Amino acid sequence: MATFISVPLKKSSEVDLVKPLSKFVTATYPAGEEQAEYIRSVEELNKLRKNALGRPLDKHESSLEVLLRYYDQLCAVEPKFPFSENQLCLTFTWKDAFDKGSLFGGSVKLALASLGYEKTCVLFNAAALASQIASEQNLDNDEGLKTSAKYYQLASGAFGHIKDTVLSALNREPTMDISPETVGTLSLIMLAQAQEVFFLKATSDKMKDAVIAKLANQAADFYGDAFKQCQYKDNLPKYFYFQEVLPVLAAKHCIMQANAELHQSVLAKQKKRFGEEIARLQHAAELVKTVASRYDEYVSVKDLSDKINRALTAAKKDNDFIYHDRVPEVKDLEHIGKAALVKATVITPPISQKFTDLFEKMVPMAVQQSMGIYTQRKTETVNRLVGTMREATNLCNGVLASLNLPAALEDLSGDSIPQSIAEKARSVVQLGGLQTIEQLIRDLPELLTRNREILDESLKMLDDEETTDNELRTKFNQRWNRTPSGDLYKPLRAEGANFRNILDKAVQADQVVKERYSTHCDMIALLCKPENELNAAIPSANPTKTLQGSEVVNVLRAQLAQLDEIKKERESLEGEVKAVTFDMSTTFLTALAQDGAINEEQLSLSQLDQLYGAYNQRVQTSLRMQEDLLGQVQTSHQEFSSLKQSNTETNQREEVLKKLASAHDSYVEISSNLREGTKFYNDLTEILLKFQNKCSDIVFARKTERDELLKELQQSIAREPSAPSFNVPAYQSTPAAPAAGPTPAPRTVFQQPPQQAQQQPQAKPQPPARPPPPAVTPQAASTMPANAPPTGPPSSNPPPVAPPTQAQGPPYPTYQGYPGYFQMPMGYNPYAAYGQYNMPNMPYMPYQGTPGQGGYPAAPPGGQPYPGYPQQPPQHQPYYPQQ
């Protein structure tokens, strides 16, 4: 009776994991030991997949361990790589486990760029292999029973887990083998078999009959649920696999019920309820009889039937002679209790033994993404503080330049270059002067053009692939059932639009810098000249040496010194702000472990406030001090200006000195802006190259998927009929063979995947059509053909004659055994040819009656046979016996 159902494994196509994952590692992590370790882990992952899926697996626990380890590794690596159609695109192709390429059922295979799909299929194979290992166990010992029950429960749990997660793991309809209804049915079947194993264990341990009856009744209930679910689903019976499984489930349901009734009858006998004992045994005998009559080719119940019949005979004999207890109806019997000792194993990774994550040191993608956003927030905070300080410094320099300070305090002689102006001139020369700025300005358009070309080429790849996808979608309509490229590329197009917006803003900023350079170009060129030419270019004025030791000059110099001190503090503060570092990965990992999610905004803002709150206060204090000092400087400068001798020459000299000071400040700022712009374009080039690689990878993956789908569609179209079906005329069809019942499948099918369809009994062979007459020559006209059939009395059951292949005239007799016979042609009239027997190719000799011999009887009316000969069935041609 030990016939158990196992599930065949799915087959997968080979996938190269090394190239795309290594590319991601190289692009994400800096070169070093960490990157090299991750690349080695990627290679180990690829080897693990080949061991789990790239070779036939033995029905052994070690093979199952390989599958479970690969499944655990997929679960561990899923949050650490951005597996998706528009990021890290890996296409996994799996064949349907039950559909062997026929037209009915689900798809033969399905290719999806989804790691969830890979996990689902690997777990299906683990469940299938567990069912095969359980079916191979020796159930005659305790160890085999325990192992079998363990793996049936594992298979049930795995199938149940797929049922709950497959629709969320896939973004489209799955193949029928992993659909919720299929795996739900398989989960019930595995659970029922595990319960049956517990029943066998209780029986071998000779436990109480009450316990065994409850175990058997629960197993019957499980098998009944599985049978109903398998039978009532629309798609499952289409599979040949489930066509074989259905009879086994029905048989097991009856057998378990019979066992429950058998053991419950023993309990009734112990309680001296002899009528109930007979009723239960009769019910058990009927159940076993049903199995023997319908499902004997699947499950043997001879031993069980003999056991029940012996018990029933003995019980009837004792009741008839001794007890005379009334035998109740089956419907009046008390219901047998149930005891479920099995439970589907909960799938919670890791489920393999001693699992070690190959990417243990790599942080999950959620943490990586949070780190990226945090880094962006940190950069914005630093830039805001640094920008505020630089704006304040530029404002201070601008105010001092408009007041011609400190040059006005140094230019008391009126005919020499002020010391501050001379220092600024030397600074401009040291920084490269006009040549450096002009070279930087000339480089910007080339850098901008390179970035635009990379961006345009990237978006063009997306446009071309999307156009092709739309054309094929229009051509194949609903058959082109993959994600539209337009929907898939939305994040990439948004990213590309953002890059284009950044480039447009950069162009505007470049234009502002160029205009500012044009405004101060002449004064910057003057600062680059030798000292004597610079001194000659500055107008002379009357000396104001009388102010050399005045109090107002001393006050202004002290105030300017304080402003210089504030600017130096800002430079130091800027360095401190830029040097602040903090590793947020630990914080994010802790939050992910505790809550299962990361509230990045709350955590980042809180941490940034702790890091930069004090610096922000120092910056604000510096701004307030500068504002107060600039107000004092302006007041002192007014008093200083009132004491100076004001005339045209003095005003011209001050105006030139102001322009020179402003030109220096502008040169420093323009030079800094151009260098930042050059760095910006170079950094953006690297980012755009990564964006281009991302676009290239996804387009390549989409092309591979497109080619695969086109191949499947072509095969599907080739299998379709080229024209609608039509009815063949009845006279062209061969008479059908007598109906016969289907031949049951062999029992070995339940230990391995289904092999061949059930063979129908062969129809009785039809005799071949009558061959054409042999060519007869005049010399052989009087010779009997060598292969002529022997003459004899006519048979009462003549062989059927094959129907004509085309429309013919009325049949004419042929006289077998007559020398030189041949069939008459259509419309032949022997009387019209009378006397022409000696014509060529006409060896037929009309009958010459001899004297004293009676002639042949006249022909019967049309359509009737000769008298004395058996009448033929109307569907065949008239049969004429030999002469």
Rounded to 10°, the helix 600-643/551-579 angle is 160
Beta-bridge mates of residue 95 = 109
18, 41 in Cβ contact below 8 A?
A: no
Q: Which band of pLDDT confidence, cut at 50, 70 and 90, is reported for residue 222?
A: very high
pLDDT at 348 over 50: yes
553 vs 544: CA distance, rounded Å? 12
pLDDT at 704 over 60: yes
Task: Give the pLDDT confidence score for residue 783 in this predicted structure.
Answer: 40
Neighbours of 181 (CB within 10 A): 16
Backbone dihedral angles phi then psi of residue 163, each to the nearest 5 degrees: -55, -40
| Bond before 247 cis per omega within 30 degrees | no
DSSP per-residue string spanning 764-828? PPPPPPPPPPPP--GGGTTS--TTPPPP-PPPSSPPPPPPPSS---------TTSTT--PPPTT-
Task: Give the pLDDT confidence score for residue 121 in this predicted structure.
Answer: 94
E strand intervals along 454-553: none
Radius of gyration from C-alpha coordinates of the chain: 50
Instruction: Please choose, from the candidates 299, 866, 405, the residue with its C-alpha nearest in 3D space to the C-alpha of residue 658.
Output: 405
DSSP per-residue string spanning 719-743? HS-SS---PPPGGGSPPPPPP-PPP
Q: How is residue 231 annotated by DSSP? A: H
137 vs 764: CA distance, rounded Å? 44
Give the percent of the chain with pLDDT over 70: 76
Of the ranges 84-88, 327-331, 382-386, 807-811, the best mean pLDDT one: 382-386
Consecutive H or E run containing 609: helix 600-643
- The mean per-residue pLDDT over the stretch 426-436 comes to 83
Q: Quick one: how far is CA 374 from the chain centroid?
A: 31
Q: Which band of pLDDT confidence, cut at 50, 70 and 90, is reported for residue 649?
A: low
| Bond before 772 cis per omega within 30 degrees | no
Out of 5-19, 193-207, 717-731, least confident range: 717-731
Q: Which band of pLDDT confidence, cut at 50, 70 and 90, is reported for residue 436?
A: confident
138 vs 687: CA distance, rounded Å? 62
Between 800 and 617, name the one with better pLDDT: 617
110, 10 in Cβ contact below 8 A?
A: no
pLDDT at 140 over 50: yes
Out of 497-506, 576-585, 719-728, least confident range: 719-728
- The mean per-residue pLDDT over the stretch 343-369 comes to 86
Q: Which residues contact 420 (CB under 8 A, 6 or more apart)?
A: 406, 407, 410, 661
pLDDT at 131 over 90: yes
Q: Which band of pLDDT confidence, cut at 50, 70 and 90, is reported for residue 542?
A: low
21 vs 41: CA distance, rounded Å? 10
Task: Give the pLDDT confidence score for residue 367 in this predicted structure.
Answer: 84
pLDDT at 508 over 60: yes
- The mean per-residue pLDDT over the stretch 336-352 comes to 87
Q: Quick one: how far is CA 248 from the chain centroid?
A: 34
pLDDT at 119 over 90: yes
Between 155 and 637, name the one with better pLDDT: 155
Instruction: Please choose, from the candidates 384, 386, 394, 392, the residue with its C-alpha nearest in 3D space to the C-alpha of residue 669.
Output: 394
Between 753 and 586, name the one with better pLDDT: 586
Task: Give the pLDDT confidence score for residue 55 in this predicted structure.
Answer: 84
Task: Give the pLDDT confidence score for residue 410 in this predicted structure.
Answer: 63
Query: How far does the chain reach from its first CA to its final CA, in angstroms?
Result: 64
Task: Give the pLDDT confidence score for residue 742 in this predicted structure.
Answer: 38
- The mean per-residue pLDDT over the stretch 218-240 comes to 79
pLDDT in tens, 778-798: 443 334 444 444 444 444 444
Task: Give the pLDDT confidence score for residue 537 in this predicted structure.
Answer: 75
Consecutive H or E run containing 93: strand 92-95
Beta-bridge mates of residue 112 = 92
Consecutive H or E run containing 664: helix 648-719
883 vs 868: CA distance, rounded Å? 14
316 exposure class (CB count in 10 Å sphere: 0-12, 13-18, 19+)? middle
Between 136 and 418, name the one with better pLDDT: 136
625 vs 631: CA distance, rounded Å? 10
Residue 323 is which amino acid?
Y
216 vs 210: CA distance, rounded Å? 10
pLDDT in tens, 657-693: 778 888 888 888 888 888 888 988 998 998 899 888 8
Q: Which band of pLDDT confidence, cut at 50, 70 and 90, is reported for residue 824?
A: very low
- Positive or negative CA dihedral for 188, 190, 192, 194? negative
Between 816 and 171, name the one with better pLDDT: 171
- Positive or negative CA dihedral for 78, 83, 84, 87? positive
Of the ranges 102-116, 347-361, 583-597, the best mean pLDDT one: 347-361
- The mean per-residue pLDDT over the stretch 150-158 comes to 94
Neighbours of 58 (CB within 10 A): 12
Query: What pTM, to 2 d.p., does this model score?
Result: 0.62
Instruction: Please choose, from the candidates 279, 251, 280, the residue with its C-alpha nearest in 3D space to the C-alpha of residue 263.
Output: 280
Q: How many CA atoms lie less than 13 Å away from 292 in the CB half-sphere?
A: 13
Q: Quick one: how far is CA 114 from the chain centroid?
A: 3
274, 323 in Cβ contact below 8 A?
A: yes
Task: Give the pLDDT confidence score for residue 460 in this predicted structure.
Answer: 92
Beta-bridge mates of residue 92 = 112
539 vs 98: CA distance, rounded Å? 99
Q: Which band of pLDDT confidence, cut at 50, 70 and 90, is reported for residue 145?
A: very high
Out of 314-323, 392-401, 864-873, least confident range: 864-873
pLDDT in tens, 472-482: 888 888 888 77
- The mean per-residue pLDDT over the stretch 789-809 comes to 42
Question: Token match 């289904």: residue?
Answer: 754
206 vs 193: CA distance, rounded Å? 20
- Positive or negative CA dihedral for 460, 462, 468, 473? negative
Task: Give the pLDDT confidence score for residue 733 in this predicted structure.
Answer: 54
pLDDT in tens, 309-321: 888 888 888 777 8
Q: How confident is the prediction for the chain on average, in pLDDT?
A: 77
pLDDT at 486 over 50: yes
Q: Which band of pLDDT confidence, cut at 50, 70 and 90, is reported for residue 880?
A: very low
pLDDT at 102 over 50: no
Beta-bridge mates of residue 88 = 83
Q: Which two tokens stand for residue 345?
A: 């194993």
Strand, helix or coil for residue 110: strand
3-state helix, strand, coil split of the chain in percent (to 5) is 65, 0, 35
Task: Give the pLDDT confidence score for residue 852 in this predicted structure.
Answer: 47
- The mean per-residue pLDDT over the stretch 462-485 comes to 86
Task: Give the pLDDT confidence score for residue 237 in this predicted structure.
Answer: 61
208 vs 361: CA distance, rounded Å? 55
pLDDT at 74 over 90: yes
Task: Give the pLDDT confidence score for residue 236 in this predicted structure.
Answer: 67
